[in-house]
Amino acid sequence: MLYPWLKVGHLVFVIFWMAGLFMMPRFFVYHQEAPEGSEEAARWVEREARLRKIILNPSMILVWVFGLALAFTIDAWSQGWFHLKLFFVLGLSGYHGWMMAYAKKLARGERPLSGKKLRLLNEVPGIAAILIVTTVIVGRLYLS
C-alpha cells in the first residue's frame, strides 16, 4: 500500500525539480544580459534565490527521499537498471550543485560564462530526463 504513494511523491517532486532546473539557466541568461550593478540585476539575484530556496533545493531533497524509499521498497539495489538510473540522477544532482554555485557567482557580480554557453547548459536537464526515463522504462526490461 505504501509503494504507490512513494511513487506519487517521487514523480511530483521530479516534475517540480525539473521545472526549476529548466528555469534557472534561463534566469542566468537574463541576469547576465542585465547591466552589471543595475536594479534589474539585483532583481534577478532575488528571483534566483527564491527559485533555489522555494523550488529547487526542497524538490531535489524530496526526490532523493522518495526515490530512495522506493528503491528500498522494491529492492532496486539488486537490479542493474537502478544502478544506471542512480548514476544519471547523481549527475543531475551534480548539475544542480553547479547551478547553485553559479547563482552565487552571479550574485557577486562574476559572469564567467557567456549567454550562449548558458543556453546550451539549459539542455542538460532535458537530456538527463531522456536518459533517466529510458533507463527506468526500457532498462527495466533488459537490465534487471
Q: Which residues are annotated as a binding site for heme?
A: 10, 85
CA 11 to chain centre: 13
**In 3D, which of 26, 90, 25, 16 has the Cα closest to residue 59?**
16
Q: Given the C-alpha cell 534589474, which residue does it identify?
A: 40
Residues with Cβ within 8 Å of residue 45, at least 6 apart in sequence: 31, 106, 107
Alpha helices in 34-123 (DSSP H): 39-50, 57-73, 80-107, 115-121
Q: Which residues are annotated as a binding site?
A: 10, 85
Q: Given the C-alpha cell 526542497, which residue does it identify?
A: 58
